[in-house]
Amino acid sequence: EVKLVESGGGLVQPGGSLRLSCAAAGFSFSSYWMSWVRQAPGKGLEWVANIMQDGREKYYADSVKGRFAISRDNARNSLYLEMNSLRAEDTAVYYCARDSGTDLEYFYLWGQGTLVTVSP
């Protein structure tokens, strides 16, 4: 079965850190750009970051640049998001998403999401 499964969410204090993981299955993970997309409670979708197939290129939203780091381990079929200096406005469901396979960055496959809550 083709799927993405996120983990690592939870409650963290402002200023704290958290590492999200996304396990891929059922497709050739190393062949695709991968992204993180988040959704604050009751709000719309916000792209966070993405990473090229071999990890050489990475892009970030301005809202997380310098605080978040995206990485991947193709041998483990896994995507990661290291989140530092967390703020209340980072509270959201974080989705792992795979692109179409054409290097055009729309999102063909999504995980179920993991909730990150930043609160004292």
Partner 1 sequence: AIQMTQSPSSFSASTGDRVTITCRASQGVRSNLAWYQQKPGKAPKLLIYAASTLQSGVPSRFSGSGSGTDFTLTISYLQSEDFATYYCQQYYIYPLVFGGGTKVEIK
Q: Is 108 in the site for partner 1 (CB under 8 A)?
A: yes
Cα separation of 68 and 92, whole Å?
Answer: 14
Write the DSSP string, 37-72. EEE-TTS-EEEEEEE-TTSS-EEE-TTTTTTEEEEE
Q: Which stretch binds partner 1 (CB under 8 A): 11-19, 71-79, 82-90, 106-114?
A: 106-114
Q: Which stretch binds partner 1 (CB under 8 A): 10-18, 21-29, 44-52, 68-76?
A: 44-52
Contacting partner 1 within 65-104 (CB under 8 A): 95, 100, 104
Q: Is 106 in the site for partner 1 (CB under 8 A)?
A: yes
In the block, tokens 């179920």 appear at 112
Tally Cβ neighbours within 10 Å of residue 71: 14
Q: Which residues bind partner 1 (CB under 8 A)?
A: 35, 44-47, 50, 59-62, 95, 100, 104-108, 110-113
